[in-house]
Amino acid sequence: MTEAEPTDLIFDVGAHKGEDSDFYFKLGYRVVAIEANPALADHLKERFSKEIGDGSFVLINKAIADTEGTISFFVNKKKSVWGTADPEWARRNKALNAESEEIKVESIRFSDIVATYGCPHYLKIDIEGADMRCVNALKNMAYRPKYISLESTMTSWSDLLNEFNTLESLGYTKFKLVNQKKHSDGNFRNRNGELISHTFEEGASGPFGDSLDGVWLTKRQAIRAYVPIFIQYKTIGVHSLPSKVIKRTPVLRLLRRAFNYDSWYDTHAMRE
C-alpha cells in the first residue's frame, strides 16, 4: 500500500540534464528524478547539489525495469536524449544515423520507487520506449498521480490506442496533446499562487496540468486529434521514410521544414 498523493512531489522519470526538474523547483515542488545514464546522473548531482543537500531533490541513477538487477542500456552517441534500455529503439536510432554504446546499469522497479517515496502529484515519463512500464505499474497501486505525461508512440496506432485504454482504466478521463518541438516561455503560478518567469531549455517536457495551453479533451476527442498527427508520422515524419529519401525529394523536404513534421507529441492525462 503506497501513501496518499503528496501534493508537493513530482517524479521526473528520464530526468536527462534536469531541464524539467529546474522548472519544478521554481514551482515549489520536491523532485524524485530517475536517470539511467551515469554521465547524466553526474551532471544532475552537480547541477542540483544544493537541492540534494536540503532534501528537495532525490536522484536515482538506475533504469526502470521489470526486475531489480543489472541490464543493458544504450547510450546514444549523437543525441543524449535518445538513451534507451530498449534494443529495438537502439536499432531504430542506428537507422537514423545515431549509433549507441551499450553499457550495463542497475535497474529498479517503478513500484518500488513509489513504495519508498509515495505517489507523486505529477508523473512525467520520458524514457525512450519504456514509458508504459511506469504506467502499467500504476495498475496495482492504491493511489495514482493526479497528472501524468508520457511520450506517446510514433510508430503504432494500436499501441497508441492501448495507451489511452490503459490510462482510462486507471481513472484518467481528460487529455491534452502537447507538441514537444517548442514550449511557450512565460509566467507560471507556483504552488503559493505567485507568478514566476521561466524559459524552457531545449529538450524540456514543458509545463503540466492547468498550465498547459488549450482545453482538456475526452479520450475520444484526443484519439481523433492524433489521426492527422499519425498521418504526418507515417508519411514524411522523422521516423517514416529514410532521411536520405526526404532530403532528395524537394517537395517532402519543404513540407517537413514548413510544417514541423519532425516534431513529436506527449500525451498529458488528468484524473478528476
Burial of residue 2 (CB within 10 Å: 0-12, 13-18, 19+) is middle
Q: How far apart are CA 237 and CA 26, in angstroms?
A: 34
What pLDDT was estimated at residue 235?
74
- Check pLDDT > 60 for residue 261: no
In one-letter notation, the amino acid at residue 41 is A
Nearest residue to 239 via CA among 141, 150, 120, 151:
151
Exposure of 164 in the CB half-sphere (CA atoms within 13 A): 21
Number of other CB atoms surrounding residue 221 within 10 Å: 13
Q: How far apart are CA 223 and CA 84, in angstroms?
A: 26
Question: Residue 50 contacts by C-beta under 8 Å, 6 or more apart in sequence?
Answer: none
Nearest residue to 241 via CA among 252, 230, 250, 251:
252
Q: How far apart are CA 150 and CA 139, in angstroms?
A: 16
In one-letter notation, the amino acid at residue 206 is G
Q: How far apart are CA 262 and CA 260, in angstroms?
A: 5
Name which CATH class applies to 9-234+262-271.
Answer: alpha beta
| Alpha helix stretches (DSSP H) within 56-156 | 87-95, 110-117, 131-137
What band does 5 get if pLDDT is binned at 50, 70 and 90?
low
- Check pLDDT > 50 for residue 156: yes
Length of the chain: 272
Boundaries of every domain in the chain: 9-234+262-271
Q: In terms of pLDDT, which residue wins out, 35 or 181?
A: 35
| pTM score of the predicted model | 0.89
Q: Give 29's DSSP letter.
A: -
Q: CA-CA distances (angstroms) from residue 169 to 10, 124, 178, 266?
A: 22, 19, 22, 19
Strand order in the sheet with 122-125: 57-60, 30-34, 9-13, 122-125, 147-151, 265-271, 172-179
User: Taking residues 261-271, what's their average pLDDT?
Assistant: 85
Q: In terms of pLDDT, which residue wins out, 147 or 180?
A: 147
Quick: pLDDT tens for 12-62. 999 999 999 999 999 999 999 999 999 999 999 999 999 999 999 999 999
Quick: pLDDT tens for 89-131. 899 888 878 899 999 999 999 999 999 999 999 999 999 889 9
Q: CA-CA distances (angstroms) from residue 180 to 4, 46, 66, 152?
A: 31, 26, 28, 11
Q: Please, what is the angle between helix 250-259 and helix 219-236, to 10°?
A: 150
Q: Are 125 and 148 in contact (CB under 8 A)?
A: yes
